[in-house]
Amino acid sequence: MVSRLRCFIGGILFCFFTSSFALHATENDDLVKAMMEVYAEELAANPQDYRTYYSRAMAYFGQGDMKKALSDIDNAIKYFPRKEKDDLAQAYLLRAKILSERGETKSALTDLNSALRLVPNHRLALKDRGDLLCRLGQYDMAKIDYNHLLRMDTRSQSAFMGLARVEAHTGQPVRAKDLLAQAVNLSPKDPKIYLERSEIYKEMDMMPEAVDDLVYAVSLDDGHSGAIQKLVAYSNESYNGVIEGLNRNIERSPRQGMLYYVRATIYKDHYDYASSLRDWNTIVEENFFNFHTVYYNRAFCLSRLTRFDEARADIKRAIEKDSQNAEYYRLLSEIERGDGNLVAAEQAVRQAAVYDPSNVAICLERGMIAYDEGDFGQAISCYNEAVVAAPDEPYSYLARAYTQEYGMENRIAAEADYRKVLSLDGTSAAYGDNLKGIAFAKLHLKKQAEEWERSLLASGSVRNIDYFYLACMYAGFDVDKSISYLDKALQNGYGDYYRIHVDRYSPVSLLPIRHLSQYSDLLYKYRALFGK
């Protein structure tokens, strides 16, 4: 009975983990934990139970733990009876996926070949091998697999998609588009097919078409297919293209509330808080959604625009709907602190800490309140907790260094933290987020700061916040460059008015240039960016 239950739930887990709903895996922690306990018990009783190794490998794969998944699938393949060809082929397929995720493409191809030797007409193996060969640039070989798949099933969307990708990468865009159309026509109401086609359009540098497909997928299922996440990801590469596509589709379908939600999210992620706020307002005014996330996001935008009374009202609405959300209390604390209400800020951040005591943002917020209160020792203590919680996060060291230097007047301790920032490995997703330029500036290492500037500008993707970082870096020793980079930040849509104009006690600040007329002129020039 336990074995049957294990297999049944294991199948559910695999489907769950490999679907777009894996984003909500935390809601299923108890189920996952229970299943892992069952797997451990069964393997303790029978260390050669290949089916349990296989099931647990699927679960680890779904969780993204490729190291453990690989260990388990290795054992499954080791103990699988060679006569069970179909099941053994499935095991090779799973290991190929794991190896591919780890970047071990040669070994993955070997496993796909093994699966096809066992079951020559295995459709998923043909599809996966074709996809891998395509990734490796072996287009002629990939085409053979896709054509084989098409001969077996003349309605195979995977085959049409694969052949389209081959044509796209071999300079045949017209054929590629025709094959993509054939794939979509087989199931025109399936949102996932539009996600797949959007990827190929993107590879063909057809961003408007890629965005339109994702938007249509959102309209089909309100984004449950993962289309929203893809739009957000695409916006990091082609922000203007994604926004233009959303604008175009909202014009066509002005009552499609989810499109406003997506656009508002992308505006917010790119620090254009005034534009984001307009979309959240539309969502509320038109009664498209009444989610607590809408009020949280609107409160966040309002707080960055220093409209604290409205922000406070919205975050309290969000808390009424979700009263145990640590981030909501943290934002309430930030709003109260920004508005000068330190007692209320401290009450809110204490509540946030009840629900998530080791959260880095909460530790930082507690530290900033303590600094505002003049309790520099307590601020250092909070920043110490932030460092322990996330030792690779540079801002925690900068905040602690700032407090050491300007609160405790301990330059030696401050320099140690600035140098600690320089010693971090710099694995931030965006180059600018390593903040080493700020540390160089604080250490008066001008040449190294300039080198960091060059590296940032050559990194391939310079965001509006990166120009803000450069403006802050130069604020202390080159006013003209600081003003120039602030201009670029604002020109590119950086709309965090609180951080630009209000934030007083921050290691990443424009405070040294705020008194200048050029600075005031820029804020007036771009006042629409702040909803002024």
What value does the mean pLDDT take over residues 26-53?
85
What's the gap between Cα 28 and its chain centre?
21
458 within a domain of the structure (yes/no): yes
Of 349, 345, 352, the closest CA to residue 326 belongs to 352
Residue 223: pLDDT band (50, 70, 90) is: confident
What value does the mean pLDDT take over residues 486-510?
96
How far apart, in whole angstroms, are the C-alpha atoms of residue 260 and residue 406?
Answer: 44
Residue 259 belongs to domain with CATH number: 1.25.40
Does residue 22 have a pLDDT over 60? Answer: no
Q: Give long-range contacts, CB 8 A cutoff, 24+ apart: 111-117.
A: 114/89, 115/89, 115/90, 116/89
Render pLDDT for 369-396 as a digit per residue (tens, 0 to 9). Answer: 999 999 999 999 999 999 999 999 999 9
**Exposure class string for 95-128: b at 16+ Cβ within 10 A, else e:** bbbbbbeeebeebbbebbebbbebbeebeebbbb
What is the structure's pLDDT at 219? 87
Does residue 418 have a pLDDT over 90? Answer: yes
318 within a domain of the structure (yes/no): no
What is the structure's pLDDT at 29? 67
What is the structure's pLDDT at 355? 96
223 within a domain of the structure (yes/no): yes
241 within a domain of the structure (yes/no): yes
Is there a contact between 165 and 176 (Cβ–Cβ < 8 Å)?
A: yes
- Three-class SS of 277-329: HHHHHHHHHCCCCCCHHHHHHHHHHHHHCCCHHHHHHHHHHHHHHCCCCHHHH
Mean pLDDT value across the chain: 92
Is there a contact between 112 and 93 (Cβ–Cβ < 8 Å)?
A: yes
Question: Which of 289, 320, 345 is where one domain is finished?
Answer: 289
466 within a domain of the structure (yes/no): yes
Q: How many CB atoms lie within 10 A of CB 68?
A: 15
Helix or strand run (H / E) with residue 374: none
Of 85, 135, 142, 141, the closest CA to residue 114 belongs to 85
336 within a domain of the structure (yes/no): no
What is the structure's pLDDT at 266? 97
3-state secondary structure (DSSP) of residue 115: helix
Question: Token pair for residue 348?
Answer: 């809110």
Question: Which of 259, 289, 319 is where one domain is finished?
Answer: 289
What is the structure's pLDDT at 33? 83
Is there a contact between 176 and 196 (Cβ–Cβ < 8 Å)?
A: no
Residue 357 has φ and ψ, to the nearest 5°, of: -65, -25
Contacts of 512 (CB under 8 A, 6+ apart): 475, 476, 479, 482
Question: Token pair for residue 192?
Answer: 């996932």
Q: What percent of the chain has pLDDT over 90?
A: 88
298 within a domain of the structure (yes/no): no
Question: Which of 240, 261, 289 is where one domain is finished?
Answer: 289
Q: Count the domains in the chain.
A: 2
Residue 275: pLDDT band (50, 70, 90) is: very high
Is there a contact between 125 and 152 (Cβ–Cβ < 8 Å)?
A: no
What value does the mean pLDDT take over residues 477-497?
98
437 within a domain of the structure (yes/no): no
pTM for the full model? 0.84
Is there a contact between 77 and 91 (Cβ–Cβ < 8 Å)?
A: yes
How far apart, in whole angstroms, are the C-alpha atoms of residue 102 and residue 489?
Answer: 37
What is the structure's pLDDT at 427? 67
Q: Could you tell me the end-to-end alpha-carbon distance of the chain, in angstroms, rounded to an integer?
A: 67
Residue span of the structural domain in which 496 resides = 454-531
Of 98, 33, 89, 91, the closest CA to residue 62 belongs to 98
Render pLDDT for 95-120 as a digit per residue (tens, 0 to 9). Answer: 999 999 999 999 999 999 999 999 99
Q: Point out the least confidently predicted range of 30-34, 356-360, 398-402.
A: 30-34
Does residue 523 have a pLDDT over 70? Answer: yes
What value does the mean pLDDT take over residues 167-181?
96
Helix 257-269 to helix 227-237 angle, to the nearest 10 degrees? 40
Is there a contact between 278 and 261 (Cβ–Cβ < 8 Å)?
A: no
Residues written for the chain: 532
How far apart, in whole angstroms, are the C-alpha atoms of residue 76 and residue 78?
Answer: 5
Question: Token pair for residue 135?
Answer: 């990734």
Question: Token pair for residue 262?
Answer: 């997506």
